[in-house]
Structure 1
Amino acid sequence: MNTQLSGVLAAAKAADRAALIGYLPAGFPTIDGAAQAVQALIDGGADAVEIGLPHSDPVLDGPTIQTADDIALRNGVRTRDVLETVRQVTAANPTVPVLVMTYWNPVDRYGAARFAADLAAAGGAGCILPDLPVEEAGPWLAAAEELGLATVFVVAPSSRDQRLATITASGTGFVYAAAVMGVTGSRNQVGEMAEDLVRRTRATTDLPVCVGLGVSTAAQAAEVAAFADGVIVGSAFVQRILDAASPEAGYAAVRELAAELAEGVRKR
């Protein structure tokens, strides 16, 4: 259990609002500029942030994040760069939880215990592991628990109640509820299945349930905040950087959107 992450989510709940969790991949728009991009999320009002570990086959990510991952990989990003970005962000923002969002393969190749140790040393709050089956997570969970790292698993609308209970029993920090079936990306409407998924997930756990996949506007953030403990936004931030004329303009656009979304989660 990561007390920093739990504290931030509890503080948002005590203020009768949802937390805003922003995502951007490491190495994007540049290796050196990634920390600045994440800083823009925080400056705009994100309560916690996720830093993505770019992957060559991001099967759960839509075209927007795939594009950003491709840019990051062409920039030469490595796992050590992801950890360095975490270190820079946590050093500048010691009260903001920083998680790494990653597919399991890069962690497995790096070494689960080594990755956990290096993430903790960098000040990270934990990991979101969307494709790691809980039945195979024992070595990671042991290392993470020893180091006080949160392990966040993903549930989907297709998850049956018994499966939800199995997943939530193994996770810590919060549960990541995928609002829609399919890959990540901004949508005109957030999934109607999201509220039902949150209700069913809460029936199995006392962990906060945070919803991601599809939120891109303050109105959508407010809609999700009405029934979720946290609102997770990624693709919309990535798109702002992709659309910008320069990295600096991208950071400003990210900061602006984060401020709008932070206002949205306060209108639950």
Structure 2
Amino acid sequence: MNRVEQIFTTLRQERKRALMPFICGGHPHLGATAQILPALQAAGASIVEVGIPFSDPIADGPVIAAAMHVALQRGSTPQSVLDEVRSVRDRLSIGLVAMVSVSIVHRMGGPAEFVAKAADAGFDGFIFPDAPLEESGVLLSTCRERGVAASLLISPSTPFSRAKEIVAASSGFVYLLARAGITGERAEAPEIAGRVNKLREVTELPIAVGFGISNAAHVQSVTESADAAIVGSALVRRMSEADAAGRDPVAEASSFVGELFQGLQARQTSAGQPAESGASSP
């Protein structure tokens, strides 16, 4: 059982949910990732999704696309992100999942070489946002052989027959998009209970929901049915704004994730469980 699986197993046994913040590797500057990861763990994250900077992020909205551009402009590379993760991995108990384009995978030597490098650096799983199911066999089998999680994306428009195939091919967790289109903040919490319950009919894998989850109330709402809430654009925007204003982006990230964690606490309390003062460390 890899770290991602162990975290979800422990949380399920305790009837808890996971908070999965998304950050862009190398944003807002080189060295920031190594500083941010321990801070997010302390603030309540169970798993952190790290986007590997890419010049053409097809699924990302303007906030994350701009952060990717800044990271690349300031010298971030896929290898530098792996190096930063490696430098702090032994201080972390949280899971780390890389969101990475298949173009980067092939640029770094192909599935076997990339997965080996990233796993050795400390990543526990991967999300491949632009990998068609029909072309992902080698990639997914490589992850299985290495013992790391691997997920493709299921969108609101994905036919259920195809969603079942994606679920069957995934390991560690299922990544369900709360909304169609690109990433970005929204005012209202997404309605995902029906889709989550439908997927639970065909899989026992934990279901993580992302895209458009922006605040603690959204986190509370989403985790009433899903196993994890993924928050990206809202966090990345705050880090970008802090950096532009001369404030500490790490402190900004930590404070915001702490607020999001309260959404999990509120859900836990409403379910009749005692709240905690900090993150659990499965």
> Shift of the alpha carbon at 1:78?
1.3
Comparing 63-72 with 3-12, which one deviates more in the overlay?
3-12
Comparing 38-47 with 169-178, which one deviates more in the overlay?
38-47
> Shift of the alpha carbon at 1:253?
1.4
Of residues 190, 205, 208, the one that matches 2:206 is 208
Q: What does 1:33-182 align with in structure 2 at a 5 Å threshold? A: 33-93=32-92, 95-110=93-108, 111-182=110-181
The question of whether the paired residues in 2 share the 8 Å contact of 1:103 and 1:129 is answered with: yes
> Shift of the alpha carbon at 1:86?
2.2
The question of whether the paired residues in 2 share the 8 Å contact of 1:241 and 1:247 is answered with: no
> Shift of the alpha carbon at 1:247?
6.7
Question: Gaps (5+ residues) in structure 2?
Answer: 268-282
- Closer, same or farther: CA 226–133 of 1 in aligned 2, 3 Å: same
CA distance in 2, matches of 1:68, 1:156: 23
Counterpart of 2:196 in structure 1 is 198
Q: Percent identity?
A: 35
CA distance in 1, matches of 2:212, 2:39: 20
**Paired residue total:** 265
Structure 1 residue runs of 4 or more that deviate by more than 4 Å after TM superposition? 245-248
In the alignment, residue 242 of structure 2 is paired with which amino acid? A
Counterpart of 1:25 in structure 2 is 24
Counterpart of 1:14 in structure 2 is 13
Comparing 57-66 with 35-44, which one deviates more in the overlay?
35-44
Query: What is the TM-score when the length of structure 2 is the normalising length?
Result: 0.90
> Shift of the alpha carbon at 1:134?
2.0
- 1:226 paired with 2:224, answer yes
CA distance in 2, matches of 1:7, 1:248: 36
The question of whether the paired residues in 1 share the 8 Å contact of 2:26 and 2:81 is answered with: yes
The question of whether the paired residues in 1 share the 8 Å contact of 2:24 and 2:51 is answered with: yes
Question: Gaps (5+ residues) in structure 1?
Answer: none
Q: Secondary structure at the match of 1:173?
A: coil
Give the superposed CA RMSD. Answer: 1.5
Query: What is the TM-score when the length of structure 1 is the normalising length?
Result: 0.94
